[in-house]
Amino acid sequence: MTDIVLVNARLIDPETGTDGPGGLVLRDGLIAARLGPGETGPDLPMLDCQGKCLAPGIVDIGVKVGEPGERHKESFKTAGKAAAAGGVTTMVIRADTLPAIDDPETLEFVTRRAAGVCPVRIAPMAALTKGRSGREMVEMGFLMDAGAVAFSDGDAVTENPKILSRALTYAASLNALVMAHPQDPGLSKGAAVTSGKFATLRGLPAVSPMAERMGLERDLALVELTGVRYHADQITTAKSLAALKRAKAGGLDVTAGVSIHHLTLNEFDVGNYRTFFKVKPPLRSEDDRQAVIKAVAEGLIDTVSSMHTPQDEESKRLPFEEAASGAVGLETLLPAAMRLIHNGHMTLPQLWRALSFNPALRLGLPGGRLSIGAPADLVLFDPDAPFILDRFKLNSKSKNTPFDGARMQGRVLRTFVGGAQVFGPENS
């Protein structure tokens, strides 16, 4: 059923920055009309939202799915179920698969696999260089024709600036978006945590926050040289913000994101070598966390994502230095983000601008809006509902969440994709 009237909702509209009562009419997979308080709309099946929040579905940039190559960690079926349960209606998937998504055939395999089993939309990225090896650029034109929305080697930073500049020049000629991981690879190699007193006390190999700034400064210089459209996948330190602000003020076509883990956790959460808190880049100081939160609220950092990275138990049940980096986040993104609301750091429209509107805008996707004619990709949620997270109840195949056992607030009640409900009481 895709034709339905949603009434008595609290509409969170990131495009207009409004938060107030109303409703929506959904027809043929699109938002057909907006209703004022108390209006019931046309004679269609009706759902009373009971005053809960209704917002555009989350557009999650940087989701890793283990197909091809690591299906034992995550499949499109399990990732799709997790996304629907988390209010994510579009997964922008990474290219760091085995093999990498670096040719049209692999990209076609991925989109075909997802179409058969995934209840939410996918927007695939492709690798920037073949095999993500930083030596030879991919055939970007063919990959864009096959559906690639951006190009990224993920955390495999291209060390040779000449090769990178050629790839960026080629991308600029196609008006393609390049997503990079700002990090100096020499400084960050082998690091497990952020440098400081805590890292020293724990005896863990560490990297200075300056490595991120150095990587970002190099990338921004190449952006200025080539004129490419550029997105930094994660800005996590205060030292990087000035460079980002300067680039935007200088007219460069630059945006930046941050993961929900870097917004809600800090270096002390590693505690007694808890590997579920090992992510890349490593968790930062509390001062960095607060600075990055402020940057999101002000719009300097444009997007917030889960950076969903499933790892199996064998990859995590190792000494901290040897354990794989990454955490699952599709189902915990929304409740974790509610911490920013309940702590008064930003408003729901500000948050949803980073979760939904800005990612869709940057990637040229039609979602992220509540305007008439937009896709009826929506999430209905209760921002205050309390619960204790049990990782074994997650839909993801891998259960590596740092929020296991945490007290959280914010539950997804229903998720709609193209007007069809893909998560809710009737879908359980």
Residue-wise pLDDT tens digits, 76-129 = 999 999 999 999 999 999 999 999 999 999 999 999 999 999 999 999 999 999
Strands 193-194 and 420-423: unpaired
pLDDT band at residue 272 under the 50/70/90 scheme: confident
Reading the block at residue 322, the tokens are: 């040897």
Instruction: Give the tokens for residue 197.
Output: 């007193």
**pLDDT given at position 428:** 62
Confidence (pLDDT) at 17: 97
Please give the domain boundaries of the chain with CATH numbers for all domains. 57-363 (3.20.20.140)
**Cα angle for residues 418, 85, 113 (degrees, 5° grid):** 65
pLDDT above 90 (res 13): yes
Q: Which two tokens stand for residue 188?
A: 């960050």
Confidence of residue 271 (pLDDT cuts 50, 70, 90): confident
In the predicted model, what is the mean pLDDT of residues 421-428?
88
CB 187 within 8 A of CB 207: yes
Q: What does the mean pLDDT of the chain come to? A: 96
pLDDT reported for residue 109: 96
pLDDT-derived band at 1, boundaries 50, 70, 90: low
Backbone φ, ψ for residue 67 (5° rounding): -115, 125
User: Which tokens sit at 22?
Assistant: 């109303």
Q: Are strands 88-93 and 58-63 parallel, antiparallel or unpaired?
A: parallel
Looking at residues 391-412, what average pLDDT do you find?
A: 97
pTM above 0.95, yes or no: yes
Over residues 162-169, mean pLDDT: 98
Q: What is the mean predicted confidence (pLDDT) over 155-173?
A: 97
Is the preceding omega at residue 209 within 30 degrees of 0, hence cis? no
116 CB-contact burial (10 Å; exposed 0-12 / middle 13-18 / buried 19+): exposed
Kindly report, residue by residue over 337-395, the tens digit of the pLDDT. 999 999 999 999 999 999 999 999 999 999 999 999 999 999 999 999 999 999 999 99
Beta bridge partners of 137: 129
pLDDT digits (tens, 9 = 90+) for 311-328: 999 999 999 999 999 999
Q: Check residue 166 and give its pLDDT.
A: 97
Give the residues across from 417 on adjacent strands.
Answer: 420
Instruction: Give the Cα-Cα-Cα angle 216, 222, 227 (nearest 5 degrees).
Output: 115
